[in-house]
Amino acid sequence: MVQLTESDIQTREILDYRGLHLFHYSMSSCSQKLRAFLNVKGVDWEPHVIDLSKQEQNDPWFLGVNPRGLVPVLVDDGAVHIESNDIIAYLERKFPDPVLIPRDQQAAITTLLAREDDLHLDLRLLSFRFVHGRNGSPKSPEVIARYQSGGSGTVGGEPDTHKHRELAFYAQLARDGITDAAVQSAAAKFHAAFADFEQRLGAQAYLIGPDLTIVDIAWYVYAKRLTLAGYPFDRLHPKFAAWFSRLDAQSALNAAVETPAPLLARIAENRRAQVDSGATLAAVAGL
């Protein structure tokens, strides 16, 4: 579990927060996963929006909350928890009903959530290019410098190297853009994961058994984003597509991943341009 110590936190006012507070953003996939989890649990929380489109995650105030500069962040009676899967594990213990991490499936859940986490940067790449129509870094050198120098630089009271991964990602993005090769590599990883789930869903209703678990929620969020990006689920993975449709009809899940109307309009415009140029996700990735 990733819980910050007081020495990690420079924005001291949050230590006095009472109740459950969630720092999140509408289109952050990790925020969507946590919101969906909380919706299914029926847990109330106090929202604090960090607008990633305005780079608010790199402002000194928020870096004082989470030195990694990422959402979501959970504050529970002044205790600060970061990293979405760790937050979910903490909340499952605090709010055990309904069960979303069954004890007899914990090993499988850990493995599949690790696979989801390993694909996070791949999802980001595909989102940038095919959802947002962006081929370079959204962060200016000034923003990068602010991010690099901001915050305590520690997690759990120890020097934290997590920023290196983020800095390396954006440095490569600024240098190379989002190449066709990078798209093909990312899409191939997702194709392999969805092909595995397609096989599983031939014998069961949900991804690891007869009941909804956090694994379904996590991969529903990814599928929702890749649907916006134009991944051809119906053609490539029909059982997975049917599973996704069932989950997407559940208000507790769908409400957590709702795309703002102005962004939907931009996505449609981006898709038209991709179709006209023959540069859709399916075409570039060879799907």
| pLDDT on residue 175 | 95
Domains of the chain in start order, with CATH, are 6-102 (3.40.30.10), 104-135+178-285 (1.20.1050.10)
| pLDDT on residue 194 | 98
Q: What is the pTM of this model?
A: 0.96
Measured over the CA atoms of residue 98, residue 259, residue 124 and residue 167, the dihedral's sign is negative
| pLDDT on residue 235 | 98
| pLDDT on residue 207 | 97
What are φ and ψ of residue 247, in 5° steps? -70, -35
| pLDDT on residue 1 | 64
CA distances from 6 to 91, 94, 283 (A): 21, 22, 49
Reference 69, options 17, 23, 106, 29; nearest CA is: 23
pLDDT in 10s for each residue of the chain, 287 residues: 689 999 999 999 999 999 999 999 999 999 999 999 999 999 999 999 999 999 999 999 999 999 999 999 999 999 999 999 999 999 999 999 999 999 999 999 999 999 999 999 999 999 999 999 999 999 999 999 999 999 999 999 999 999 999 999 999 999 999 999 999 999 999 999 999 999 999 999 999 999 999 999 999 999 999 999 999 999 999 999 999 999 999 999 999 999 999 999 999 999 999 999 999 999 999 99
